[in-house]
């Protein structure tokens, strides 16, 4: 019996719904999840070890083989690739001696790439354990790695003044927040939250719902669901208790505005959660924070503590006997799909991040089976502001069908990447001017799951739920960029991030990515394009959740906006064979079989290598 | 509560909250399924039951019927989508029906026949999926797993209620696992239940196979469609 593992199990009271936290503790203990440790954890929780591994093997940041003393995750985004990713990767491999995906022979460094870590305005960027380094260059990499080799910790390198981790100065030292344009709604200063909460409690939950509904506030997480209605449904749903969850998973490549809000306006986020709790009747709240933002955790814990000290959290909030509410932070472990609210709830319950079958919806049966309200970080701040300034004020911003403002995370080919607050109704061209876009050609709106817009065709389109309903990610590409390569990169992202539970998304995205590779290689014909469209429609229509529901978009929207790019890549079919059919490669199997048959000592490669050990 | 819906334009009277797959079957409309098991919680994994409800694509097995619902099942578009999903399952794994123990009793194969599949429109991927043979009475022929989750969700150790089967990894690296210790103490009827619940020939009972002569196998005696519709009538 291992005392440390037993202590972990006890700390979480043998509660298997806290499996993610327990796995993290094991991971911190060993640097990975050794089989024996998983077995002991499984025993302690009355689970089969396969069941524990079912969860642990789902998340990118959990390793099942030993890792080096330092684990490096280089952000692999299309933006990083435009800004020196390859040179940085080469330097990392050279300096550490580790190849991508492996550990170096001395066991000092493990090197991985990882999807967007929410720093598109300061790529190339990487995480070294729990510390982040941005704007990397080969020189900077040499400096970091040589210091690590000399025994300095990542913290010491990134934080030479040893600022406390709970300090905002610590975060500012690691990353830039780059608020290029603030507006009326977000990043507001001079708040009196006790006063605001008191007023809202006095007015009562119905009044709060009425105000949010009147403001026509819609969720900023992507789906645009009416926030007032969501709160009302959750309030009215029967349940012994209820939960409010702040969705801080921000996994859509290209977005980083939630990170900036959590850094610059954390209390406005918390205030939104407290208001939600008072309305729906929650006693517990969760901030689901993506592992990529681990360096914000101590700071956020500190903000929670400040809230408790002001009686804005905890028992008897503002002295009211019937209002008890507190918040915990749940760390994710690397999975884009956990941004989906029902997958996020599964993850909070210690399981794989698999989107649930709906109905029931989270507002009816969510976390631990209880009515649960999941809101995006930005939505919660907007709620706070609506309650501060009033519904009419909020309604006066934006347009008829899209009230208020929204934050844009802008990256790519422009002079001033960063966060912009714009009113709904702003046109794409206006935004491009604002950010100093250089010869913009294509703009990826809402990340890979959104749409690609040709600037000359769609520049006058306006942001809003009726047209360009952006989730906050805006990536700008100029004419020098390889758009088809970007599309392929996005498709690979979906292949890697599909939770895999449903057929069309798990299997279909692989076919779509392979088709894209074929087109780019110049071996595709018109039939391939037609099939991409029809297979894309299949995936989009029959998938279980929004990931598969949007994953064909990179192909479908570029095919529609830039058909000439695809046409230029096509080849004509000559003769009976499809251009993609490689006769020589096909015949090689025969050649290999002949060798196998004539050399009796020949053992096929796949029989020698146990795929288990390759993992 | 008695309600009315329409299926392909035909009015159907039924009870609110009933499962759409069952309601359709009761009214002689066959909706292909691979993961759904009547009476068990919906898994919603295969999507082979895709239909349109009030114009929107959805998996029929995940739909509790409500008043006025307009359901489309038998359209050329939907039939082709369902067929495509089945084809996708064939190209994603390795299915050699002539040498498969489950042939003739396999729901994937039978449903493939039922929807008129001849060959997969998707390129076959020939993945490498090592089989798992460690348990005494069960082995996993992973080539054939379609990740329906039936075994994961519905087969549990009777003493501890622990999962016996579980998925490891995700995406193209995903594979079905079995806990050998728990598998070895499954009583014979539970072993059979697991092998039967698996819609394909992935969970195989050791020492059993090819028992029924060709021509007398499950889906040759009664097609998957007849079974889906017939069970309701009796
Ligand atoms: C694949 C996928 C990823 C998502 N990622 C996020 C995310 O990172 N952050 C977020 O707030 N919502 C995300 N969503 C949307 C959530 O499911 C949910 O709609 C949202 O958190 C609700 O909050 P809101 O009503 O405040 O917008 C995602 C949805 C899907 C399908
Ligand atoms: S669409 Fe993709 S991510 Fe969503 S449930 Fe299906 S496999 Fe999982
Ligand atoms: S599992 Fe079914 S479809 Fe697959 S090989 Fe066996 S009989 Fe054929
Ligand atoms: S082993 Fe069979 S029952 Fe289990 S997931 Fe695979 S196909 Fe489904
Ligand atoms: S039967 Fe409906 S999703 Fe599988
Ligand atoms: S399977 Fe090829 S000849 Fe029988």
- Above 70 in pLDDT, residue A419? yes
Mean pLDDT value across chain A? 95
Instruction: Name chain A contacts of B173, Cβ cutoff 8 Å.
Output: 615
3-state secondary structure A213-255: HHCCCECCCCCCCEHHHHHHHHHHCCCCCEEEEEEECCCCCCC
- Above 60 in pLDDT, residue A2? yes
Q: Is residue A178 part of a domain?
A: no
Q: For residue B139, what is the enclosing H or E element?
A: strand B138-140
Please check whether residues A555 and A597 belong to one and the same domain: no
| pLDDT tens, position by position, B139-167 | 999 999 999 999 999 999 999 999 999 99
C-alpha span between A342 and A338 (Å, rounded): 8
Substitution candidate for ligand 3 out of B201, B202, B220 with most atoms within 8 A of CB: B201
Classify B174 in phi/psi space as left (phi over 0), alpha (psi -120 to 50) or beta: beta
Query: ∠ CA A238-A240-A245 to the nearest 5 degrees?
Result: 85
- Asked whether the beta carbons of residue A506 and residue B59 sit closer than 8 angstroms, the reply is no
Q: What pLDDT, on the 0 to 100 scale, is given for residue A586?
A: 82
Instruction: Name chain A contacts of B50, Cβ cutoff 8 Å.
Output: 541-542
Q: Which domains does chain B have, with CATH numbers?
A: 2-74 (3.10.20.740), 85-222 (no CATH)
- Cβ contact A355:A511 at 8 Å: no
- Above 50 in pLDDT, residue B68? yes
Helix (H, G, I), strand (E, B) or coil at B49: coil
B108 in ligand 4 pocket by Cβ < 6 Å? Answer: no
With a pLDDT cut of 90, the percent of chain A lying above it is: 92
Please check whether residues A41 and A111 belong to one and the same domain: no
Instruction: Name chain A contacts of B60, Cβ cutoff 8 Å.
Output: none
- Above 60 in pLDDT, residue B106? yes
Query: Among residues 1-40 of chain B, which lie with CB inside 8 Å of chain A?
Result: none
Helix (H, G, I), strand (E, B) or coil at A285: strand
Please check whether residues A477 and A500 belong to one and the same domain: no
DSSP secondary structure string, A453-499? Answer: EEHHHHTT-BBSTTSB---SEEEEEETTS-HHHHHHHHHHHHHHH--
| pLDDT tens, position by position, B198-216 | 999 999 999 988 888 999 9
* Strand bridging mode B56-59 / B50-53: antiparallel
Q: What pLDDT, on the 0 to 100 scale, is given for residue A606?
A: 57
* Strand bridging mode A440-445 / A451-454: antiparallel
| pLDDT tens, position by position, A12-67 | 999 999 999 999 999 999 999 999 999 999 999 999 999 999 999 999 999 999 99
Question: Is B90 in CB contact (< 8 Å) with chain A?
Answer: no
Q: Is residue A63 part of a domain?
A: no
Question: Is B173 in CB contact (< 8 Å) with chain A?
Answer: yes
pTM for this prediction: 0.95
Q: Is residue A186 part of a domain?
A: no
Please check whether residues A263 and A387 belong to one and the same domain: yes
Q: What pLDDT, on the 0 to 100 scale, is given for residue A615?
A: 38
Query: ∠ CA A393-A394-A398 to the nearest 5 degrees?
Result: 115
C-alpha span between A231 and A226 (Å, rounded): 9
Domain boundary at A481, A515, A544, which? A481
Please check whether residues A235 and A152 belong to one and the same domain: no
Which residues, in sequence order, are bridge partners of residue B13?
B4
- Asked whether the beta carbons of residue A503 and residue B46 sit closer than 8 angstroms, the reply is yes
Number of Cβ within 10 Å of residue A112's Cβ equals 20
Q: Residue B178 — pLDDT band, cuts 50, 70, 90?
A: very high
Please check whether residues A10 and A50 belong to one and the same domain: yes
Provide the CATH number for the domain around residue A130: 3.40.30.10
| pLDDT tens, position by position, A235-265 | 999 999 999 999 999 999 999 999 999 999 9
List the single residue in A with minimal CA-CA distance to B130: A611
Domain count, chain A: 6
C-alpha span between B45 and A543 (Å, rounded): 9
Q: Which ligand has an atom closest to residue A544 CA?
A: 2
Q: Is residue A173 part of a domain?
A: no
Please check whether residues A540 and A514 belong to one and the same domain: yes
Of the listed ranges A581-590, B117-126, B200-209, the one predicted with least confidence: A581-590
Provide the CATH number for the domain around residue A495: 1.20.1440.230
C-alpha span between B70 and B53 (Å, rounded): 6
Provide the CATH number for the domain around residue A325: 3.40.50.11540
Of the listed ranges A56-60, A221-225, B182-186, the one predicted with least confidence: A221-225
Q: What pLDDT, on the 0 to 100 scale, is given for residue A609?
A: 54
- Above 60 in pLDDT, residue A538? yes
C-alpha span between A437 and A447 (Å, rounded): 17
C-alpha span between A456 and A302 (Å, rounded): 47
- Residues whose CB is less than 8 angstroms from the CB of residue B176 and which lie 6 or more positions away in sequence, other chains included: B132, B140, B142, B145, B147, B151, B152, B165, B166, B167, B168, B202
Provide the CATH number for the domain around residue A422: 3.10.20.600
Question: Is B209 in CB contact (< 8 Å) with chain A?
Answer: no
Q: Which ligand has an atom closest to residue B60 CA?
A: 5
Of the listed ranges A13-17, A185-189, A469-473, B209-213, the one predicted with least confidence: B209-213
Q: Residue A175's Cα: distance from chain center in Å?
A: 18
- Above 80 in pLDDT, residue A603? no
Q: Is residue A105 part of a domain?
A: yes
- Asked whether the beta carbons of residue A352 and residue B170 sit closer than 8 angstroms, the reply is yes
Q: What is the mean pLDDT of residues A129-133?
A: 97
Number of Cβ within 10 Å of residue A102's Cβ equals 16
DSSP secondary structure string, A428-452? Answer: HHHHHHHHTBSSEEEEEESSTTSEE
C-alpha span between A354 and A414 (Å, rounded): 37
Q: What pLDDT, on the 0 to 100 scale, is given for residue A597?
A: 79
- Above 70 in pLDDT, residue B232? no
Q: Which of A26, A30, A29 is nearest to A12 (CA)?
A: A26
Please check whether residues A293 and A432 belong to one and the same domain: no
Q: What is the mean pLDDT of residues B209-231?
A: 90
Question: Is A605 in CB contact (< 8 Å) with chain B?
Answer: no
Find the CB nearest A50 among B91, B160, B179: B179
**Rounded-to-10 torsion of CA A575, A578, A583, A586:** -150
Domain boundary at A395, A430, A458, which? A395
Q: What is the mean pLDDT of residues A528-541?
A: 98
Q: Which of A121, A177, A124 is nearest to A412 (CA)?
A: A121
A438 HSE (CA, 13 A, CB side): 9
Q: What is the mean pLDDT of residues A545-556?
A: 98
- Above 90 in pLDDT, residue B52? yes
Q: What is the mean pLDDT of residues A566-580?
A: 87
Q: Which of A138, A60, A145, A135 is nearest to A97 (CA)?
A: A145
Find the CB nearest B57 among A51, A500, A541: A541
Q: Residue A481's Cα: distance from chain center in Å?
A: 24
- Above 60 in pLDDT, residue A614? no
Q: What is the mean pLDDT of residues B94-120?
A: 97
Mean pLDDT value across chain B? 96
Domain boundary at A430, A457, A481, which? A481
3-state secondary structure A89-139: HHHHHHHHCCCCCCECCCCCEEEEEECCCCCHHHCCCEEECCEEECCCCHH
Please check whether residues A260 and A364 belong to one and the same domain: yes
Give the nearest ligand 3 atom to B104 CA.
Answer: 7
Please check whether residues A383 and A368 belong to one and the same domain: yes
Q: Is residue A61 part of a domain?
A: no
Find the CB nearest B47 among A53, A502, A610: A502
Domain extent at residue A90: 70-162
Q: Is residue A179 part of a domain?
A: no
Q: How close is the nearest chain B Cα to the Cα of A221, in Å?
A: 22
Is it true that the peptide bond before A359 is cis, omega within 30 degrees of 0? Answer: yes
Question: Is A501 in CB contact (< 8 Å) with chain B?
Answer: yes
C-alpha span between A408 and A181 (Å, rounded): 10
Any long-range contacts for A527-535 (C-beta under 8 Å, 24+ apart)? A527/A578, A528/A570, A528/A580, A529/A559, A529/A566, A529/A570, A531/B121, A532/A559, A533/A559, A535/A508, A535/A511, A535/B84, A535/B122
Number of Cβ within 10 Å of residue B160's Cβ equals 12
Please check whether residues A85 and A140 belong to one and the same domain: yes
Q: What pLDDT, on the 0 to 100 scale, is given for residue B233?
A: 44
Q: Residue A613 — pLDDT band, cuts 50, 70, 90?
A: very low
- Above 50 in pLDDT, residue A371? yes
Q: What pLDDT, on the 0 to 100 scale, is given for residue A443?
A: 98
- Above 60 in pLDDT, residue A342? yes
Instruction: Name chain A contacts of B42, Cβ cutoff 8 Å.
Output: 357
Please check whether residues A204 and A289 belong to one and the same domain: yes
C-alpha span between A304 and A247 (Å, rounded): 16
* Strand bridging mode A242-248 / A372-376: parallel
Helix (H, G, I), strand (E, B) or coil at B187: coil
Instruction: Name chain A contacts of B122, Cβ cutoff 8 Å.
Output: 507, 511, 535
C-alpha span between B93 and B85 (Å, rounded): 13
Question: Is B157 in CB contact (< 8 Å) with chain A?
Answer: yes
Q: Is residue A174 part of a domain?
A: no
Q: Residue A68's Cα: distance from chain center in Å?
A: 25
- Cβ contact B198:B93 at 8 Å: no
- Residues whose CB is less than 8 angstroms from the CB of residue A549 and which lie 6 or more positions away in sequence, other chains included: A540, A543
- Above 90 in pLDDT, residue A292? yes
Burial of A160: CB neighbours in 10 Å, binned 0-12, 13-18, 19+? exposed
Q: What is the mean pLDDT of residues A360-367?
A: 98
């Amino acid at each position: 019996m291992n005392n440390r593992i037993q202590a972990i199990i006890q700390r979480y009271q043998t509660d298997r719904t806290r499996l993610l936290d327990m796995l993290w503790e094991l991971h911190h203990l060993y640097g990975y999840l050794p089989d024996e440790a998983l077995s002991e954890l499984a025993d302690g929780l009355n689970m089969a070890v396969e069941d524990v591994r079912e969860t642990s093997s789902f998340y990118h940041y959990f390793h099942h083989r030993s890792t080096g003393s330092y684990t490096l995750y280089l952000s692999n985004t299309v933006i990083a690739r435009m800004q020196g990713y390859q040179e940085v990767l080469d330097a990392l491999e050279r300096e550490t001696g580790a190849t991508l995906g492996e550990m170096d022979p001395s066991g000092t460094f493990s090197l991985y790439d990882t999807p967007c870590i929410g720093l598109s305005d300061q790529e190339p960027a990487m995480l070294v354990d729990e510390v982040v380094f941005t704007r990397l260059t080969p020189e900077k990499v040499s400096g970091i790695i040589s210091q690590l080799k000399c025994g300095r910790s990542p913290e010491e390198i990134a934080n030479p003044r040893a600022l406390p981790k709970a300090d905002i100065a610590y975060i500012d030292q690691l990353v830039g927040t780059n608020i290029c344009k603030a507006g009326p709604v977000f990043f507001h200063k001079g708040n009196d939250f006790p006063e605001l909460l008191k007023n809202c409690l006095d007015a009562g939950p119905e009044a709060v719902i009425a105000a949010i509904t009147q403001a026509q506030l819609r969720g900023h997480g992507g789906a645009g669901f009416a926030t007032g209605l969501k709160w009302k449904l959750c309030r009215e749903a029967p349940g012994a208790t209820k939960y409010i969850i702040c969705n801080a998973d921000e996994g859509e490549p290209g977005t980083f505005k939630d990170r900036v809000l959590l850094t610059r306006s954390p209390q406005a986020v918390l205030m939104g959660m407290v208001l939600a709790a008072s309305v729906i009747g929650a006693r517990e709240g969760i901030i689901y924070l993506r592992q990529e933002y681990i360096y914000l955790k101590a700071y956020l814990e500190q903000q929670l503590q400040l809230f408790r000290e002001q009686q804005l959290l905890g028992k008897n909030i503002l002295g009211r006997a019937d209002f008890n509410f507190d918040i915990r932070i749940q760390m994710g472990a690397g999975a884009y799909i956990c941004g989906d609210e029902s997958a996020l709830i599964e993850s909070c319950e210690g399981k794989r991040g698999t989107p649930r079958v709906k109905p029931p919806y989270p507002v009816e049966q969510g976390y631990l089976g209880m009515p649960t309200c999941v809101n995006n970080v930005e939505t919660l701040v907007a709620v706070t502001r609506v309650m501060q300034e009033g519904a009419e004020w909020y309604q006066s911003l934006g347009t008829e069908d899209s009230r208020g403002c929204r934050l844009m995370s802008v990256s790519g080919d422009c002079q001033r990447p960063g966060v912009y607050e714009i009113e709904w109704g702003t046109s794409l061209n206006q935004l491009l001017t604002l950010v100093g876009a250089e010869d913009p050609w294509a703009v990826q709106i809402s990340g890979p799951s959104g749409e690609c817009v040709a600037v000359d065709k769609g520049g006058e389109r306006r942001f809003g739920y009726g047209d360009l309903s952006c989730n906050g990610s805006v990536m700008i590409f100029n004419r020098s960029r390889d758009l088809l390569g970007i599309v392929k990169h996005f498709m690979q992202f979906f292949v890697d991030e599909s939770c895999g539970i449903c057929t069309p998304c798990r299997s279909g995205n692989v076919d779509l990515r392979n088709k894209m590779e074929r087109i780019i290689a110049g071996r595709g014909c018109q039939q391939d394009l037609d099939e991409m469209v029809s297979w894309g429609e299949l995936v989009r229509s029959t998938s279980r959740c929004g990931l598969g529901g949007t994953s064909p978009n990179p192909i479908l929207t570029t095919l529609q906006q830039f058909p000439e790019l695809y046409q230029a890549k096509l080849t004509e079919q000559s003769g009976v064979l499809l251009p993609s059919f490689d006769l020589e490669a096909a015949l090689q199997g025969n050649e290999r079989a002949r060798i196998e048959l004539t050399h009796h000592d020949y053992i096929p490669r796949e029989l020698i290598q146990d795929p288990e050990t390759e993992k | 509560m008695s309600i009315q819906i329409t299926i392909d334009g035909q009015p159907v009277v039924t009870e609110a909250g009933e499962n759409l797959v069952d309601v359709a079957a009761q009214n002689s409309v066959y909706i292909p399924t691979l993961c759904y098991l009547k009476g068990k919680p919906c898994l919603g994994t295969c999507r082979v039951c895709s239909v349109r409800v009030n114009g929107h694509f959805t998996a029929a097995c995940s739909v509790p019927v409500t008043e006025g619902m307009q359901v489309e099942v038998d359209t050329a578009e939907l039939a082709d989508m369902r067929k495509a999903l089945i084809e996708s399952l064939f190209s994603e794994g390795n299915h050699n029906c002539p040498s498969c123990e489950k042939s003739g009793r396999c729901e994937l194969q039978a449903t493939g026949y039922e929807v008129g599949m001849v060959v997969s429109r998707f390129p076959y991927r020939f993945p490498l999926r090592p089989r798992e043979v460690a348990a005494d009475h069960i082995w996993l022929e992973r080539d054939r797993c379609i990740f329906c989750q039936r075994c994961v969700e519905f087969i549990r150790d009777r003493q501890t209620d622990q999962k016996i089967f579980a998925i490891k990894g995700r995406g193209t690296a995903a594979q079905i696992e079995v806990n050998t210790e728990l598998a070895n103490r499954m009583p014979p009827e539970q072993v059979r239940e697991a092998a039967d619940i698996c819609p394909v020939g992935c969970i195989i009972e050791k020492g059993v196979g090819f028992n029924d002569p060709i021509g007398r196998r499950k889906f040759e005696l009664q097609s998957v469609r007849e079974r889906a519709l017939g069970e309701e009538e009796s």
